[in-house]
Structure 1
Amino acid sequence: MGMIVIVVGDSLGCPRSWVGVDLASTYSFQLNRLLGPDAFVANYSVGDNSTDRAVKEPFLRTFVRNSSASYAIIQLGIVDCAPRLLSPVERAIGLVASRVPGLRALFDQYIKVKSRYRYQLTRVFPKTLVPIDRFESNYRRLVLEILESNPVEKVFAINIAYPGEILRKKSYNILANIQKYNAGIARLAAAFPGRLEVVDLFAQCAHKPDWVTQDDGHHIHKPAHDWIAAEIAHRINVGLCAEIIPMFRVGAAESTDNAKVPSEA
């Protein structure tokens, strides 16, 4: 088998056909096409994924360790850093309530009331699913698991996209949260020079707000997928050329040296 690329991501890497992102439009599918028929891009993105989930032993054992990957892509963070409307206890109550018809309707009303005052509640109770310190620790562990158990040339870290207007309006301080967690990703890239590279989706979406979906303010449209695929394919191909060109130069030098050796015939 040729080049293997693994993707560990959240719902931003998944198809969303209702906003024009079908399977063939996802950056993983497009990257596979750009890298050619000998490449295989395994997309392990899943909705509501966080760094907490990505470093759980079953996932690491099944999808990350010894995957024979040459490259890896990580796109995690928005689930970790977005202000949470419900506490872990409330989510547990909601899980129980969802199985009891009468309680489910009551809990749904409770959610509607809280959602109506989401901005105010996330301002007073600024809870995140994964605190920044644990986020960086999880991310570091995931990078190390990828690098130490595979012949990986490089890991690409797609940072968190610039939030759309609706997300900025309904979630207090979301932009600052995203910038803080993206700074954590940048620190990790500095700690793994040449092995972990940031793909700056945040900067692209800040200048191209129409790349972000209007309905929730954090998913991405097809042009963003197009850019991610092209950017990563370019970096991989540049890296491959950097490896191949010196080989050609060595071969050419040897040929020249051989040509200078006088024949003894």
Structure 2
Amino acid sequence: MNIAHTIFGVFGNATALFLFLAPSITFKRIIKNKSTEQFSGIPYPMTLLNCLLSAWYGLPFVSKDNTLVSTINGTGALIETVYVLIFLFYAPKKEKAKIFGVFTVVLAVFATVALVSLFALHGNARKLFCGIAATVFSIIMYASPLSIMRLVIKTKSVEYMPFFLSLFVFLCGTSWFIYGLIGRDPFVAIPNGFGCALGTLQLILYVIYCGNKGEKSAEKDDKSLEMKGEEKKQNVVNGKQQEQQV
């Protein structure tokens, strides 16, 4: 059981790292276009909060035998901070204020949890407090792409829901869910079980809508065809007028 626990922890680290790096494709597009377009910035500060709280929960003086949880989430916190800063730089003014507000709340929540657990709580009470906080915000992190899923259903397009991000949400959630079950740690198993289910839904949506261009793309194609049709009509009229003049 200890070997299986370690194996799923290592696999969870690998899939989590890919999950944290998956949005780099999105941010490459954002930097290239110098615009955040319709991409949502909410998942990144929420993921940052989850990483900070999970890394804190995994520290030896909070919970035992969770070093793998602490190391990968510490790495994730650094990566997500970079994403948030890039998003803030390229986002329009209204979206920038929104994301900056969320980012500020994230830092305040983490500071509060860390200070309270460090100075006011000890032993099991500390573990319980930090575990509940990590669980709640892990679920919120996994739920943050729900707005993107709604956009996918509305537009019938997966343009703004990258496949690899959905895939690694599923893989990461599944591996850490099993890790939590083997280690009998509900604070790891519960939120990642939710993540596994949500990742499954995202993959199902991707299968359903991956072949569609979406409503906006379809409208552009229709307008393009209409313009080409008008040009052809105009060319025909001009040709007849020239023939009559001859």
Per residue, is there more helix in 1 or in 2? 2
Per residue, is there more strand in 1 or in 2? 1
